[in-house]
Structure 1
């Protein structure tokens, strides 16, 4: 390490000054020869010479220690400041997407497999398998994951709902309905793949064959907030607005802007899936069953509209739409196409509805044990 020019020059100056000082103090002092001083002590020239040499050694020690002390000061100043808290890395939560998708594929393969086709399960389960059912007697026409839970780091319990159809030897089919299967999935790789090993390749393996479990507990949602039945009367201004808006939205025959609040933009379905529309019932959250008049500007009205939409082939399709209407200048306008019908709650109907997803793990805990790590 090279010292900066200024520091080198300062150090050389100290050496020169120290050397000159030592030469000066080492010269003989003729006036101080075994003469008593005022205190009565005698001082010899030998004693003074020894003292001067001791002082000189001390000066040289201070000069020599200068660079060392400077280096220590530099190192201590470049170190981390005391009391500064280092940032703590936040652990990324493991994602259930990979284990859930793998479990869904495994359940579909398991339902189709049977005697003689056990090898089709090898990509999912490495254990020894001997199936009693005949191959192809069951199929999952549809399947989806309804619950996934990390029971241990990198180890998941996944519940799959499958719409199962049975086939007999005469090629007759019988719809068995939706059945639920739980399976344990071991995941490797980073947290994004559901594992705990950063930098490792993602991989999955089932720890056992699926276990069929009971359906999740059905819940009854709170009553809907639409307590007034408006029927399909065209005399009600709010019903007329709903009819015109949904006809434009589903058939594309008119512009949506004529039925919507200023600044509100809706994207119609394109291409239009239906050729005609008929309103079969309207419910709203107003009070009173008589014909509803348009109230003061800014008043909100929540509607649930039932329609029969006729497709291009002439077949009717029944649909339901939740709308929020807003009054302005003596007319009703559509302010929003709601994500879900409003249910009664302690909060006003304009608040966003709260939904609860049933947990099949809790519902079926007594029906079958969770798979264990093998």
Structure 2
């Protein structure tokens, strides 16, 4: 029904209309009882009569009754008008959601790990992942994945996924000697049930999720090796300590990796950069610096606000004396005659529109391992 507020307003309006009606009737009776005035003009020139006044009263009374009778109708019209959709305003539509590959990908990785370790007599270990008939001829435990990761996922059709897993595989011979076969790649078909967030097709988030492989894994070729696009660092500054920008990079990375000094000495007050804690290295040596400056030398710090991008190569030595080679992309800004580190960048800068290209392929021992046994032989 109509809202309570509209009903109350309609009732108040009817009471007010009835009051006006009563007043009009009283006035009409008084006019009819009054002696009829003689026709003629008063001082204002306005002619009147009791008959004239009585006619006006009847019109007023009729109008008031119309208002009283139409009160509920007007209230209902107001309710319908207020509850209807506003003209010209589009109804919000739910954005389409995409099924997530996370669940199927994780299930495929677990299945591959179990598949590599299984063998003749342990086929039941694959039952949680694949319910088809399996007969393996390989000795159980002869291959293991020391580490694995999903590198590709594609939804073949709603709820059905093709997952590619890369695994670093070690083989063990009959004498118990291990040999690393290298990284191999396997493709697995996974069907998912449940909500879209779990890779399924159900629109309800409360639907129960479940997964199953549609076959044993298929070993596939490695993805193409690529050569990275051209980096934006065209100037090679070496490791000269006379270059103020190189000197800033040295001091900053030493503080960042060893904690032997404060980062504030090398950063602006507005930046919130923090050193790695606990410090992983005892010593840092800068072996090379490249930047995107076009000037011949960097002996003088340019005007305030000048931005410089660096790629810094370092050899860091840990507490046990073992060296580790690292690369850092830094952004520097000039202020008050000195360079300050503005950020440790997420990735080295590349030239605009620079794309990777195919790298020449060279055969290695790891590649030889990629032509391992067929999936049916595990």
User: Structure 1: 5+ residue runs without aligned partners?
Assistant: 14-64, 347-352, 357-374
Which residue in the other structure is 2:278 paired with?
271
Is the CA contact 1:230–1:289 (under 8 Å) kept in the aligned structure 2? no
* Corresponding position: 1:127 with 2:129: no
User: 1:114 offset after TM fit, Å?
Assistant: 1.0
| Cα distance in structure 2, aligned partners of 1:71 and 1:323 | 70
Is the CA contact 1:180–1:214 (under 8 Å) kept in the aligned structure 2? yes
- Any residues of structure 2 matched to 1:102-113 within 5 Å, and which? 102-113=107-118
Q: Deviations over 1:98-156 (max 9, x none)?
A: 11111111111111111111111111111111112211111101100111111111111
Which residue in the other structure is 1:350 paired with?
none
The correspondence for 2:302, drawn from 284, 295, 304, is: 295
* Corresponding position: 1:339 with 2:337: no
| Cα distance in structure 2, aligned partners of 1:78 and 1:307 | 70
Alpha-carbon spacing, 1:113–1:293, altered in 2? closer, same or farther (3 Å): same
* Corresponding position: 1:313 with 2:320: yes
Is the CA contact 1:250–1:268 (under 8 Å) kept in the aligned structure 2? yes
Aligned residue pair count = 298
Which residue in the other structure is 2:336 paired with?
329
Which residue in the other structure is 1:162 paired with?
167
| Cα distance in structure 2, aligned partners of 1:189 and 1:279 | 53
- Please report the TM-score for the alignment, with normalisation by the length of structure 1: 0.72
What SS class does the counterpart of residue 274 from structure 1 fall into? coil
Is the CA contact 1:228–1:283 (under 8 Å) kept in the aligned structure 2? yes
The correspondence for 2:268, drawn from 226, 236, 261, is: 261
User: Structure 2: 5+ residue runs without aligned partners?
Assistant: 2-6, 19-68, 358-378
Alpha-carbon spacing, 1:78–1:215, altered in 2? closer, same or farther (3 Å): same
| Cα distance in structure 2, aligned partners of 1:318 and 1:163 | 23
Alpha-carbon spacing, 1:117–1:87, altered in 2? closer, same or farther (3 Å): same
The correspondence for 1:136, drawn from 141, 150, 158, is: 141
- Any residues of structure 2 matched to 1:26-65 within 5 Å, and which? none
Which residue in the other structure is 1:16 paired with?
none
Is the CA contact 1:229–1:289 (under 8 Å) kept in the aligned structure 2? no
Is the CA contact 1:226–1:285 (under 8 Å) kept in the aligned structure 2? yes
User: 1:183 offset after TM fit, Å?
Assistant: 0.7
Which residue in the other structure is 1:190 paired with?
195
* Corresponding position: 1:240 with 2:247: yes
Is the CA contact 2:259–2:279 (under 8 Å) kept in the aligned structure 1? yes
Is the CA contact 2:303–2:334 (under 8 Å) kept in the aligned structure 1? yes
| Cα distance in structure 2, aligned partners of 1:355 and 1:264 | 33
Which residue in the other structure is 2:101 paired with?
96
| Cα distance in structure 2, aligned partners of 1:6 and 1:342 | 74
* Corresponding position: 1:228 with 2:235: yes
User: 1:342 offset after TM fit, Å?
Assistant: 1.1
User: 1:87 offset after TM fit, Å?
Assistant: 3.4
* Corresponding position: 1:283 with 2:296: no
The correspondence for 2:210, drawn from 183, 203, 207, is: 203
Question: How large is the Cα RMSD of the aligned pairs?
Answer: 3.1
| Cα distance in structure 1, aligned partners of 2:286 and 2:106 | 40
| Cα distance in structure 2, aligned partners of 1:286 and 1:75 | 70
- Please report the TM-score for the alignment, with normalisation by the length of structure 2: 0.71
Alpha-carbon spacing, 1:229–1:67, altered in 2? closer, same or farther (3 Å): closer
User: 1:85 offset after TM fit, Å?
Assistant: 5.0
What SS class does the counterpart of residue 339 from structure 2 fall into? strand
Q: Structure 1 stretch 256-265 or stretch 69-78: which is displaced more?
A: 69-78
User: 1:290 offset after TM fit, Å?
Assistant: 4.2
Alpha-carbon spacing, 1:123–1:66, altered in 2? closer, same or farther (3 Å): same
Q: Deviations over 1:52-110 (max 9, x none)?
A: xxxxxxxxxxxxx9999899969966874486754333332211111111111111111
| Cα distance in structure 2, aligned partners of 1:96 and 1:132 | 32
